[in-house]
Structure 1
Amino acid sequence: MSGARGADDRPVVRRGVPEGGEERVAALYWEAFGRKIAPALNPPGKGRAFIATHLHRDRSVTALAAGRVVGVAGYRLDGRALTGGGVKDVLSAYGSCRGLPRLVLLALLERTPAAGELVMDGIAVDAAHRGRGIGSLLLREVAAVAADHGCRRVRLDVVDTNPRARALYERHGFTAHRTERTPWLRGLMGFGAVTTMHRPVTDTHADADATSGREAR
């Protein structure tokens, strides 16, 4: 039947961004979080290129269908996150005058893990592949990564304009820890509150790959 998905189109989860997948991951991130990061990295083409150039490929979990990246979850651990690029990189890409205010905006989005904590920085899934459980696969694998690194919990932030993401996180055991009201950011970045959520990590998460559909490493 036309349009039917074959077995080779079934999502498979793996750790890391596959070589050559940087631009695809940057495009997915921009699609999911463009409203939030655009003030710091606009115009879109340049912002996507900046993200792709400075990715830390080993700080992510990706979902592939027919060999193509269709979902990604980034995280920060041991001082490194999926999305990179330091002060010099921003100033080199945007210039001193335009780069300095962008650095201030990027600093607002920084989240530093506490001891024993893995911090997620969001999930992005291709619109054509939503509703197939990819977000759940990615979350389970991130929990397994946290367990493998001896972390006690996973932390993430979800904005008030993304109730679907919050519902997904709650289904996977995340609970709200605190909510920070940020009305001054609504006009600039599109959200007026950020809720921090936690999920404890147990030994069972280390075996999550048994049911996640992940490729053997």
Structure 2
Amino acid sequence: MALDAAGTGTGTGPVTLRRGIPAGAERRAAELYWDAFGRKLGPALNPPDKAVSFIAAHLNTDRAVCALLDGRLVGLAGYQFDGRSLTGGSAAAVLRTYGHLRGLHRLALLALFERSADPGQLVMDGIAVDPAMRGCGVGSLLLEEVAAVAAEQNCREIRLDVIDTNPRARHLYERRGFTAVRTERTPYLRKLLGFGAVTTMHRPVEGRGPKGPHTP
């Protein structure tokens, strides 16, 4: 169900939110995701066009909330819950796409990004906003919709990781109620992946329980 989210300052109409990636928008979703995380995922999934195609082909489209402007996808936030996350793709799929020899190296890199949720947690699987829409409040809208999902699933907290080279994202998360709980320093990854520390942040979930018409 679309939610009226007017007031984002776009000047071209209200941004609407919906649960799940619309059918036919998988490629667009993968492009937004790659624009946001391509620098971090590049060593594992480059070249970019192949990476976008791989991501688009292996999305779990029900594990995202999306922002649309005039029907066009302009932002999405993925999440992991009940063992499934927005981005998928098995080891076999990686090997089929990139070849066995090169694929094994890529699998080792992708393993560095694997995360699992503790009981009662909903784990964020990335938030991506069209560059033209940044600063318009889209990221905040997406985060609050993820919080609504977490409440409906009776989660006690939302967890996410943010790298040290993305201070803008960290500031957004702090404004929306997330607090840092630990930082893992990974200087050995700076040359390879472009970052040297990962901070885990938590936000408690309020008002847990079904919310009627917004339940997917």
Given the two structures, how large is their TM-score scaled by the length of structure 2? 0.92
Partner amino acid, structure 2, of 1:133: G
Q: Distance in 1 between matches of 2:70 and 2:18?
A: 13
Counterpart mapping for 1:194-209 below 5 A:
194-203=198-207
For 1:104-128, what per-residue CA distance to the aligned partner results, in whole angstroms no more than 9, with x for missing partners? 1111001100001000021110011
Counterpart mapping for 1:122-161 below 5 A:
122-161=126-165
Correspondence 1:67 to 2:82: no
Contact 2:155 2:208 in 1 (8 A): no
Contact 1:144 1:206 in 2 (8 A): no
Counterpart mapping for 1:156-171 below 5 A:
156-171=160-175
1:38 corresponds in structure 2 to 42
Partner amino acid, structure 2, of 1:122: G
**RMSD over aligned Cα atoms:** 1.8
What fraction of aligned residue pairs are identical, expressed as a percent?
Answer: 63
1:107 corresponds in structure 2 to 111
Compute the displacement of 1:6 (Å).
3.1
Q: Distance in 1 between matches of 2:12 and 2:66?
A: 20
For 1:52-94, what per-residue CA distance to the aligned partner results, in whole angstroms no more than 9, with x for missing partners? 0000000001100010000010111111110000111001111
Partner amino acid, structure 2, of 1:5: G
For 1:27-67, what per-residue CA distance to the aligned partner results, in whole angstroms no more than 9, with x for missing partners? 00111110100111011000000000000000001100010
Q: Distance in 2 between matches of 1:45 and 1:58?
A: 24
Q: What is the SS of the residue equivalent to 1:62?
A: strand
Contact 2:40 2:193 in 1 (8 A): yes
1:88 paired residue among 85, 92, 108? 92
Q: What is the SS of the residue equivalent to 1:123?
A: strand
Partner amino acid, structure 2, of 1:174: F
1:58 paired residue among 55, 62, 84? 62
Given the two structures, how large is their TM-score scaled by the length of structure 1? 0.91
Compute the displacement of 1:133 (Å).
0.5
Contact 1:184 1:192 in 2 (8 A): yes
Compute the displacement of 1:5 (Å).
2.9
Q: Distance in 2 between matches of 1:118 and 1:73?
A: 12
Question: Compared with structure 1, are the counterparts of its residues 206 and 143 closer, same or farther at alpha carbon in structure 2 (3 Å cutoff)?
Answer: farther
Contact 2:157 2:203 in 1 (8 A): yes
Contact 1:116 1:153 in 2 (8 A): yes
2:3 corresponds in structure 1 to none
Q: Which runs of 4+ in 1 moved over 3 A?
A: 204-207
Correspondence 1:6 to 2:38: no
Q: Distance in 2 between matches of 1:139 and 1:205?
A: 18
Contact 1:15 1:61 in 2 (8 A): yes
How many matched pairs? 207
2:101 corresponds in structure 1 to 97
